[in-house]
Structure 1
Amino acid sequence: MPGARGRQEQPPVVHAVAGAIAGCVSRFVVGPLDVIKIRFQVQVEPIAAGAPGAGSKYTGIAQAFKAILREEGIQGLWRGTVPGQLLSVPYTAVQFVALQECKAVAERLGLQGSPPWVSFLSGGLAGAAATIASYPFDLLRTTLAAQGEPKVYSGMIDAARKIVEVRGMPGLYMGLGVTLMEIFPYSAITFGSYDYFNAVWTSRVGSKDGSPSTLQTFMCGLMAGIVAKLVTAPLDVAKKRYQVAGLKRSIQYGKRIEPKAVQNLAICFTELYKQEGLAGLWKGSLPNILKAGPAAAVTFLSYEFVLRHLLVGRQG
C-alpha cells in the first residue's frame, strides 16, 4: 500500500478525481442535516420551542425533520442536491489538488515535517481556491434548500435566472467575501487538525506503510470537522443570510432576510445579536456539527479509499 510520500507525488488529476468522488459521497450522506441546518440559519424567529417570538416554523431537529418530510416528501430532505453535488465536484477536487500542491511547495522550501502551521496555511489556501471555483453552486444550493413549499424556484436554472434578474450577475457571488472569511479558517482548522490528530494517533498507535487505517481516518476526520464547525459557526450563519437576503420566500417560513440587514458583516452580526440574541450567531450549530463531523469523516475516508485504489491501478 502506498505511503504518504507516494500519495503526495502523484499527479494532480489523481487527487482531483479522489477529491471529487469524496465530495459527492459526503454531500449525499449528510444532505438531510444540511437542509435542516440551512432552514435554521435563515429563520429569523427563534429555534427553541416556547421561546419569545411565537410563530417559529422550526423549533428543533426532530420537529424540522418531520415537518419537511410531511410537507415536502422525502425529496425535501435533499433540497438543493443538484447544485450541491455540482458544488462538491469542483470544490473538493480543487481543494485536494491545491492542498497537495501547497504541501509540495512547502517540501521544496524545506518545510516538510515543520510545525502544524504549514498544514493550517495549506488547508486555508486550498479552501479559498475551491470556494472561488465553485461559489455560484453554493449560493444556488442554499437558495433551493431554504425555499420550502410552495416553491419560488422550480430548479437550479430557474433560481439562477431569477437571482440574476433581481441582483444582476454579481448576485451569483453574493456573500463571497464573507464566505472566504469563513472558509479560510474553516479549511485551515479542518486540514490542520486532521494532520495533527493523525500525527498524534500514529505516534501513539502506529500505522502500516505510512498509511492511516480506516478507523484512524474516520476518527481524525470526525474530530477535525467538529472543531472547525464550532469555531466558524457565526461566519457560516452570516454567509447564509447574505446568500438569501432579499430573495422571495413563502410567508409561512417567517420573515425574510432584508438586504439592509447584510450591508456589511458588522451590521449583519449586530442585527443578528439585536434581534436573536447571542444564540442567533450559532443558529443551526447542532445540525451543523452533527453534519460536519460525519461529512469530514466520510470525505477523508472516501478520499483515502479512492486514492488508494487509483494508486493500486496506476502501479498495476
Structure 2
Amino acid sequence: MAIKGHDRETVQLSNATKILTSLAAGAIAGALAKTTIAPLDRTKINFQIGKQPYSTRKALKFLKQTYKQEGFIALWRGNSATMARIIPYAAIQFTAHEEWKKVLGVDGLKGKESPKKLFLAGSLAGVTSQSLTYPLDLARARMAVTKKMEYATLREVFSKVYEKEGLRAFYKGYVSTISGVIPYAGVSFFTYDTLKHLYKDKLEEKYSGFYPLFSLFSGACAGMLGQSSSYPFDIIRRRMQTDTQGKYPTIMATILYMHRTEGLWRALYKGLSMNWIKGPIAVGISYATYDNTKDSLRNLFIEKQNKKLSVERSV
C-alpha cells in the first residue's frame, strides 16, 4: 500500500509511529542537504563575518585557496559540528512543524484556508528547533571560520568557549537568530505547504508520477523566499556567534559597527547571491528528502501491519 506525501493524513498510524518516522526522516533530510552544500556554507560564513566585499569571483578564490592550502576535506571543515547540530535540529523542526499544525488545526487540507496559521506553525517549528540546538549552531560557526589548530574538535569548541567566554557565550546572537527564524521558517514552510496544496488541487491527476520532483521544486522556492526574508538577521547572528574580541556584544552594536566600517545595507546583504544558490538547493533537497523518506518509512510500517493482519486472519 503506497502513500503519497499529500495523502498521508488518511493513513491510520499511531501518533508515536508518526513522530518516530518524522524524526528519522527529518534527521536524514537535514544531514543530506547540509553535507551537499557544506563548502558553499563555509564560504558564505567567511564573507558574512569579514569586511571584504562579496563577489562570485572572490568566493571561488576562497574555495580554491582553501583547497590548495588545507586540502579537499577542508572544504567540509566544521561539517561534523554541522551534523551534530543539523541532525537533531532538522528532526525536531520537521516533527515540531507537524505537531504545531495539529495544535493549530491546519494539519489537513484546511491549511489552505488558514494561511496565517500555516505561517505561524512554520515559525513556531523554527523557534522550537533553534532554541533547543542553538549552542551547536554557534560551535559550527566557530569551526567554519577558524583554523584547525584553534578548534580541532567540537568538544574543544565547547570547552574553550566556556573557559574563555563563559556560559552565556553559547547563546550569543540568539535574539537575532530567533528574529530571523520567525520569518524564515514561517515563509518557507508556508510556501512549501501552499505549493503542495496547489499540486493536489490542480496537478495531481495529470502529473501524479512527478511528486518527488515537484516537492524538490517547491522546497527550492520555499528556500529562496525564506532566505531572502531573513538574510540580514543571519548576517548579524554570524557576526555575534564568531565574535571573540567583544566587537559585537549586542544587536545594535553589531549594526552600528557594520554601518561605520562597511556601509549598513551592503553588509546586511553580503553574500545573498550565494544564498540564492545554496539556499534553494539545500531546502529543496531537505524538504523533498523529508517528505519522500517519511512516506517510505510509513509505507514500511503499513506493510508490516498488513502482513501481520494477513497472518492473523489465516490462522
- TM-score when normalising by structure 2: 0.86
C-alpha separation between the residues in 2 aligned to 1:244 and 1:129?
23
Q: Is 1:178 the counterpart of 2:165 in the alignment?
A: no
C-alpha separation between the residues in 1 aligned to 2:227 and 2:11?
27
Q: Is 1:280 the counterpart of 2:259 in the alignment?
A: no
Residue correspondence of structure 1 range 244-283 to structure 2 within 5 A: 244-246=242-244, 258-260=245-247, 262-277=248-263, 278-283=265-270
Q: Is 1:91 the counterpart of 2:95 in the alignment?
A: no
Letter aligned with residue 217 of structure 2: M
Identity of aligned residues (%): 27
Q: CA deviation at 1:268?
A: 1.3
Is the contact made by 2:55 and 2:271 (CA closer than 8 Å) also made in structure 1? Answer: no
- Higher fraction of helix: 2
Q: CA deviation at 1:26?
A: 0.8
Q: Alpha carbons of 1:129 and 1:151: their partners in 2 closer, same or farther (altered >3 Å)?
A: same
Give CA-to-partner distance per residue, 1:40-83, whole Å, 9 cap, x none.
1111233359xxxxxxxxx6221111111111111111111111
Residue correspondence of structure 1 range 183-194 to structure 2 within 5 A: 183-194=181-192
Letter aligned with residue 5 of structure 1: E
Q: CA deviation at 1:15?
A: 0.7
Q: Alpha carbons of 1:199 and 1:127: their partners in 2 closer, same or farther (altered >3 Å)?
A: same
Q: CA RMSD in A?
A: 2.4
Q: CA deviation at 1:207?
A: 5.2
Is the contact made by 2:78 and 2:144 (CA closer than 8 Å) also made in structure 1? Answer: yes
Give CA-to-partner distance per residue, 1:187-207, whole Å, 9 cap, x none.
001101111222334443235
Structure 1 portions without partners, runs of 5+: 50-58, 247-257
C-alpha separation between the residues in 2 aligned to 1:109 and 1:221?
18
Is the contact made by 1:39 and 1:146 (CA closer than 8 Å) also made in structure 2? Answer: yes
Q: Equivalent of 1:13, from 17, 20, 33?
A: 20
Q: Alpha carbons of 1:226 and 1:239: their partners in 2 closer, same or farther (altered >3 Å)?
A: same
Q: Is 1:169 the counterpart of 2:167 in the alignment?
A: yes
Q: CA deviation at 1:286?
A: 2.1
Q: Alpha carbons of 1:99 and 1:7: their partners in 2 closer, same or farther (altered >3 Å)?
A: farther
C-alpha separation between the residues in 2 aligned to 1:108 and 1:192?
11
Letter aligned with residue 291 of structure 2: E
Letter aligned with residue 273 of structure 1: H
C-alpha separation between the residues in 1 aligned to 2:300 and 2:215?
21
Is the contact made by 1:217 and 1:300 (CA closer than 8 Å) also made in structure 2? Answer: yes
Give CA-to-partner distance per residue, 1:200-220, whole Å, 9 cap, x none.
344432358999701110100
Q: Is 1:41 the counterpart of 2:44 in the alignment?
A: no
Is the contact made by 2:46 and 2:145 (CA closer than 8 Å) also made in structure 1? Answer: yes
Task: Name the counterpart of 1:156.
Answer: 154
Q: Is 1:141 the counterpart of 2:140 in the alignment?
A: yes
Give CA-to-partner distance per residue, 1:196-255, whole Å, 9 cap, x none.
222334443235899970111010000110111112111100000010112xxxxxxxxx
Letter aligned with residue 278 of structure 2: K
C-alpha separation between the residues in 1 aligned to 2:243 and 2:288?
36
Q: Alpha carbons of 1:198 and 1:110: their partners in 2 closer, same or farther (altered >3 Å)?
A: closer
Task: Name the counterpart of 1:300.
Answer: 287
Structure 2 portions without partners, runs of 5+: 304-315
C-alpha separation between the residues in 1 aligned to 2:219 and 2:270?
23
C-alpha separation between the residues in 1 aligned to 2:254 and 2:131?
22
The 3-state SS of whatever aligns with 2:110 is: coil
Letter aligned with residue 80 of structure 1: G
The 3-state SS of whatever aligns with 2:202 is: helix
Task: Name the counterpart of 2:29.
Answer: 22
Letter aligned with residue 194 of structure 2: Y
Structure possessing the higher radius of gyration over alpha carbons = 2
Count, aligned residues: 294
Task: Name the counterpart of 1:60.
Answer: 58
Residue correspondence of structure 1 range 205-216 to structure 2 within 5 A: 205-206=203-204, 213-216=211-214
Q: Alpha carbons of 1:178 and 1:216: their partners in 2 closer, same or farther (altered >3 Å)?
A: same
